[in-house]
Every structure is written in structure tokens, then in C-alpha cells.
Amino acid sequence: MATTTVSQSVNRGGAFLVAPIAPAEIFTPADVTDDQRLIGQTAAEFVAKEIVPLIPDLEKHKEGLMAQALKKAGEIGLLGAGIPEIYGGSELDKISATVLTEKISVYASFAVAFGGTSGIGTIPIASFGTEEQKRKYLPKIASGELLAAYCLSEPQAGSDSLAARTRAVLSPDGKNWILNGQKMWITNGGFADVYIVFAKVDGEKFSAFIVERGTPGFTVGAEENKMGIRGSSTVPLFFENAPVPKENLLHEIGRGHIVAFNTLNAGRYTLGVSCMGGSKKALQEASKYSRERVAFGKSISEFGLIKAKLGEMAIRIYALESMIYRTAGMMEAAISTGGADKVKQSMLVLEEYAIESSITKVAGSETLDFCVDEGLQIFGGYGFHEDYPMARAYRDSRINRIFEGTNEINRMLIIQMLMKRAMAGALPLIPAAKKLAGELLAGPSFEEPSTGAFAEEERSLAQAKKVFLLAAGAAVEKFRDKLADHQEIVAALSNIVMDVYAIESSLRRAQKSAAANSPMADAARSFGYDAMDRIEKEARTALAATSEGDALVTQLAALRRLAKHAPVDTIALRTRVAEAVLAQDRYPFEGR
């Protein structure tokens, strides 16, 4: 099922902060091929027919039902997207995998279980396994005969996962690794057959192991009583002198962190995509309900405050979707122009675009939280009732800001990775900051203002990048290698980075679609305008915590100059987007 090649030029990870990009160079949903769409359609039909009717029973944890549902997905080839064809998978390209994830994510519990086996449960073996391990496990994971789980977290080690206490020692006869310890919060743990378990060899060397269900001394605890994604399985695991065959060590002793973190990189991107699927579903339900519900003699969809909610939900989904498909396009271009070993190449590419993956995760989870919250509000009291769709969606959404690296950790990673790339010379942030300093010293420029349909947005985008350089430059100069200790400043910088990526991706997509006066252009404009306000505020917060006295006064004056943007009637823009939503009762920019 390998389908596409993407012709766009390859951008380096994080380069969006400094390198200009033309609309034609970004991948958008309009570039998705018919074959790729077909994969999404198959997934959507599968969920509608096979999964949605099971939801009431899945929510009650009916014994064996989620495992059965996953196996059905395996039977029609949906679990093998990340597995090479020679091991029985469908080896989907990044665009198809994105479309598939989005369409599978209508019911969060299934999406999480699906990602647990076919994503983070599969990647360690597909990317780091030996030939024997791949032959033994991958075909059966692809078909759903074996279901997988990824086991990193422990009761005392979540974000700080390398503080794991689970140990592995070689048995005296050298045949087995003897595991002792406990894992916590393991998705699919209640029914999985294959567990990717991280443990420290001799209590020191962090390593990865493949552990099979039924291993003596390995027991599965009771299901956790969760706030949301109740249909998914989440359990603790216990290892008491559990012998794991020596050949089940994954990758190398002491290199388990490479397996763990590369897998999470992939998981983060996918999680963002899954959140986009959930956000679209929330918008669809909210739109439909708002048209049907009557108050004060008219449909509530006619009220300005309801339109504002629907419009803003669609605008934020549009920004998220624009970032996601742009990222998918860059990844796919890099994978397809790389070496023959696509799985290895995928790992390198995920590392290259780790910044964009973290952005996708944070933006996706926060967009979904916004959409389910506003969606629930549109349902009023019925939003608070479990018989209506928003209550479950609201509960299910919350976990996304916590797993696959909390949003706090991902915000810090974004800046950490940018700085690392800048220091290594892979990203020319330092020359760009120096150039900006020179520009600011020289005073206001009298360049010809740009013209055209998006002239003001174009100017704002360029200025937003400079605002980042101004605030980040000041923070790096002051705190140098201690910047990471100033987390609130790092988070403010990270928020600017995310908004810059979102503004640019949204704007370029609208420009590429040549839709200057369409609701899509309205969405791009509205998002960009509000994002500029946020960027200015975040930069002010960061600068005020970085500088003082005359230096601060000068920097704030520079910030005001850079962040200046002409007023826009965002109420009118949001209304037009809302009307586009209401006209179809769904997210209006699908496939465009």
C-alpha cells in the first residue's frame, strides 16, 4: 500500500523560524491523493460500522471486547501501517498514516488502544528489533493476532522516566534476563500479548525488552478507575523474578532511552493527529445540535455567541490541520528521498522533525480541550449529561495533555531542541538574532510595504519571527546554559514558536488554495491576528523576566514596533467561518 511521493523541497526541522517558505512548498490536505483518501475512508467506515455500535459495552469494559475490536482492525490490515510489507504490514507513507489516524480517532478509547498496539507498541520492534525479532512478532502484530503495549512509566517515574526502578539481571546460566519491578498506567496492558518493557540492566543501564504474556513471575494488575478513555485498558504490571529470554533484549544494553524516546517522538505526532480527528467530531456534533436546539424562538446557532464558538473551533482546527499536513509532507518528502530502509529513515526523519512533533502534540491536545469545552457549552445542560456525546468527549480529551510527555515537558523540549540545533549549527538562529539586533539598532526601515491580498498577514508573520528572535536572544544572552532552569520563560518562548508555526502554516495554506476572500482566508486571518496578540504578550512576559532598567525599556520599545498589527474585525471573520460550518454541519475545510 505504499502510495505517494511528495515533491516539496525538504525543510530542516525548526527551520520555519528563520527560512522563508512559499505557499507551493508546503503540503496541505488538498495534496492528499485519492488513494490516500481511500485509506481514510476505509478507516472511517470501519469505525462507524464495527466500533461505534460497541461503545456502550466498551465503556463498561466488557471482557475481551476491545481486544476483539482491535483484532478486527488487524484483519482488514489497519494495524500494519508502520510495518514493512516484508513483515506483513502495509508500510503506509506518512500522509496515508496521518489520514488513517485521523479517521480512526472518532472514539477516543479505541484510538488510544489502536495507537497502543500499532504505534508505540510496534515501533520499538519495527525500528530497533533484530531480524529474528521482526520475523517473530511483526507479522502477527500486523494481523492483530498479537496485541502490543509500551511499558515505560512506573509509579515513581513518569516524566522522569529514566528514574525507572525496574531491574534486569542476567541469570547465572546466561539464558534469561530476570526482571523485577513494576510498571504503571500501561495502555492495552489488560489484554496485550507482547509488552515492550524498559528496565535497567544491573540497576544502571537503561534497556528495552520484549516480554510475552504468560512469562512466569509477570502479572497484570487490575484496571485503573479512570476519568476518561474508560473503554481503554490501563493497568499496572508486576515483575517478580520474571525470566525473559536473552534474545528478547531490544537494541543494545544501555541504549533503551534511544528506543523509548524515538518511539515517543512518533507517538507525539500521531497523538496530535488523533486529537485533530476528535476535534472535528466535537465540532460536527456541536454544529448539528446548535441548529436543532431552539431558545427564545430561534435556533441557538443564530446567536452571535454560539457562532463565535463554532467559528473559533473551526479556526483552531484549521491551524492545527495546516501544521499537521505541512509536517506530514516534510516528513514524507524526507523519508521518500532517503535510503532504501524506510523504517530506519523514518526514525531519522522523526528526530529531524521532533520539534514539529512536539508542537503537534501540544497544539492538538489543547485544540481538542478547547473544542470539547466549547462544544459542551453549546449543548448547555445536555452537555453535562452522559446520554449526550459531549460529556464523554470532554472526559476523554483531558488525558492528551498528560501522556506522551506532558505538555509542560513538551514545551520545554521544543526550546531545548531548538537551542541544541542552533548550537550545533543545524539551524541559523544565532546569525538571525544578530541580524535582527543590527536592524533594530539601525532604527525603523523604510522598505516598501508588501501588497496583495494577504499583505498585512505577511508582514505580521515576518514580525512574529523577529519577536521570537528578540525574546529568545535576550533570554539566551542573560541565562546562557542555565536557560532551562527558567521554565516560565522557556514556556513563553515555546508558545511563541508554536504560534509562529501555526500562523505560517495557516497562511501559506490559504494562499496556496488561492482563496483570498473565502472562509479559509478568514480563518487564517483571524488565527493570525489573535496569535499576534498572544505572541506580543508572551514576549513581554519573557523580556520582563529577563531584563531590567534601560535595557528592558529599549527591548519593550522594539517589541511594540515589531508586534504592531493593524486592527481586524475578527468577530466578522469568525462569523463567516461559523456560517461555513453550519452550512455543512462539519469542519468546512476538509480536504482543501
Ligand X SMILES: Cc1cc2nc3c(=O)[nH]c(=O)nc-3n(C[C@H](O)[C@H](O)[C@H](O)COP(=O)(O)OP(=O)(O)OC[C@H]3O[C@@H](n4cnc5c(N)ncnc54)[C@H](O)[C@@H]3O)c2cc1C
Active-site positions read 404
Residue closer to ligand X by CB (options 68, 406) is: 406
Residue closer to ligand X by CB (options 299, 406) is: 406
Tell me the C-alpha distance between 86 and 469, whole Å: 47
DSSP secondary structure letter of residue 485 = G
What is the closest distance, in whole angstroms, from the C-beta atom of residue 391 to ligand X in the complex? 18
The residue nearest ligand X at its CB is: 158
Residue closer to ligand X by CB (options 229, 520) is: 229
What is the closest distance, in whole angstroms, from the C-beta atom of residue 264 to ligand X in the complex? 9
Give the residue from 207, 222, 204, 213 showing the smallest Cα distance to 242: 213
What is the closest distance, in whole angstroms, from the C-beta atom of residue 507 to ligand X in the complex? 31
Residue closer to ligand X by CB (options 115, 389) is: 115
Q: Which residues make up the interface to ligand X (CB under 6 A)?
A: 116, 150-153, 158-159, 185-187, 226, 229, 234, 399, 402-403, 406, 408-409, 487
Would the CA dihedral through 114, 117, 121, 122 be positive or negative?
negative
Residue closer to ligand X by CB (options 8, 182) is: 182
Question: Do residues 209 and 168 touch, judged by C-beta distance below 8 A?
Answer: yes
Contacts of 179 (CB under 8 A, 6+ apart): 166, 167, 168, 197, 199, 209, 211, 217, 218, 239, 241, 242, 243, 244
Tell me the C-alpha distance between 343 and 355, whole Å: 20
What is the closest distance, in whole angstroms, from the C-beta atom of residue 228 to ligand X in the complex? 8
What is the closest distance, in whole angstroms, from the C-beta atom of residue 405 to ligand X in the complex? 6
Tell me the C-alpha distance between 545 and 384, whole Å: 41
Give the number of other Cβ atoms within 10 Å of residue 577's Cβ.
30
What is the closest distance, in whole angstroms, from the C-beta atom of residue 376 to ligand X in the complex? 20
Tell me the C-alpha distance between 56 and 230, whole Å: 10
Residue closer to ligand X by CB (options 247, 488) is: 488
b/e sequence 224-236, b meaning 16+ C-beta within 10 Å: bebebbbbbbbbb
Tell me the C-alpha distance between 561 and 581, whole Å: 36
Contacts of 166 (CB under 8 A, 6+ apart): 154, 179, 180, 181, 182, 183, 197, 198, 199, 200, 239
